[in-house]
Amino acid sequence: MLNETQIDAYLHRLEYSGPRAVDLATLTALHQAHLQQIAFENLDISLGTKLDLSTDALLDKLLQQGRGGFCYELNQAFALLLEALGFTVSRLSARVHNGKDFGPDFDHMLLLVDVDGKDYLADVGFGDCFRTPLQLGGEGVHELGLHYYLLADGQHHYVLMQARDAGAGHAQYRFSLQAHAISDFFAMCEYQQTSPLSHFTQKSICSIATAKGRISISNNKCIITDEHGRHVHSIRDVDEYRTLLLEHFGMKLAGNVNVRKLLVRQA
C-alpha cells in the first residue's frame, strides 16, 4: 500500500490536485490524467534493461525518473494508487488481438474498478485506447471519432471493441473477470521483453495522449495525430531524438544511454 508521501508524489506527477473521493468522477479524472502525463513506452526493452514490477522500482521509474512503461508497469502502478485512495481494484488478464486471432493469456494486464457497486474497466497501459473508464454492461464511450464498447463473449468474458465513427468494430483484446495477483503476470512480462516473437522487442515506442490526439516516437519517426490529421516526421539523429523526448514527454535519458538503439528496428 502506498503511503501518503507516495500518493502525493504520484498525484503531483499526474498534475492532479482534485478531489480524492472514491467515486466515478475521481476515477475518470485520474484515468485521463494518467494517459496524458505518463507515457506508454518500451525504451528499456530496446535498451536491454530488465523491467522490475516491484512497487519501489515502479515508483522510482515513474515518479523519480519521470519515465513511463508498458501495460504491466503502468496498470500495476495505477492499481496501487487507486487502492491507496480506497478503490477496490482487480488485475485482469487479457489476450490481445493481433489482427487474426487472440494471443495468449496474460498477454496484457488491465484493471477492473468497483465504484459504488458498479464495475468499470480502466486501462492506462494499452497505448491508444479509451480515455474514459468503461462500465461493464454499459453502452461504451465516444471519444475523438472513436467508439469503444464491450461485447460479452461467453460467461464472464468480454471483448473490447473499437470502431471509427460509424464503421465496423475491431477487437482489441479479450479478457475474463477472474482477478489475479501481479505475480501471475511475471512470466509473460519476461516473455514480452525477451522473446524475438514479442512485438515489444521489434521496435521502440514512446507514446502519450494529448487533448486532441496523440504524440508518438517509434524508432526514427515522430508521429503527431490531432484534429488536422496525422503528421509523420523523420528523426535525423540522436540529438534530435533526445530533444523530442524531452519536449513531448518530459523525459531525459542519462547521458550514457545508447540512444542509437532506439532509432533503429531491433534485430
What is the CATH classification number for the domain harbouring 254?
A: 3.30.2140.10
- Output the pLDDT for position 265: 59
Contacts 24+ apart (CB under 8 A), 108-112: 108/71, 108/173, 108/175, 109/71, 109/72, 109/75, 109/76, 109/185, 110/71, 110/75, 110/173, 110/175, 111/75, 111/78, 111/79, 111/82, 112/136, 112/177, 112/179
Which structural domain, as residue segments, surrounds residue 97?
Answer: 4-192
- Total of domains in the chain: 2
| Eight-class DSSP state of 185 | G
Are 66 and 110 in a shared domain? yes
Are 181 and 200 in a shared domain? no
Are 165 and 120 in a shared domain? yes
Are 123 and 171 in a shared domain? yes
User: What value does the mean pLDDT take over residues 149-154?
Assistant: 92
Are 138 and 170 in a shared domain? yes
Is the pLDDT assigned to residue 112 strictly greater than 70? yes
Are 108 and 9 in a shared domain? yes
- Output the pLDDT for position 154: 82
Question: What is the pTM for the complete model shown?
Answer: 0.96
Are 54 and 130 in a shared domain? yes
- Output the pLDDT for position 156: 87
Tell me: the pLDDT tens digits for 220-260?
999 999 998 999 999 999 999 999 999 999 999 999 999 99
Is the pLDDT assigned to residue 267 strictly greater than 80? no
91 vs 75: CA distance, rounded Å: 8
User: What value does the mean pLDDT take over residues 133-154?
Assistant: 94
- Output the pLDDT for position 211: 94
Is the pLDDT assigned to residue 99 strictly greater than 90? no
Last residue of a domain, one of 138, 170, 192: 192
Tell me: the pLDDT tens digits for 172-183?
999 999 999 999
Average pLDDT, the chain: 95
Are 61 and 158 in a shared domain? yes
User: What value does the mean pLDDT take over residues 11-24?
Assistant: 98
Angstrom CA distances, 253 to 25, 35, 42, 65, 236, stand at 35, 21, 13, 9, 18
Is the pLDDT assigned to residue 79 strictly greater than 70? yes
Are 41 and 13 in a shared domain? yes
Are 8 and 108 in a shared domain? yes
Is the pLDDT assigned to residue 213 strictly greater than 90? yes
Are 117 and 203 in a shared domain? no
Q: How confident is the model at residue 155 (pLDDT cuts 50, 70, 90)?
A: confident
Are 14 and 99 in a shared domain? yes
Q: How much of the chain exceeds pLDDT 90, in percent?
A: 93
Q: How confident is the model at residue 136 (pLDDT cuts 50, 70, 90)?
A: very high
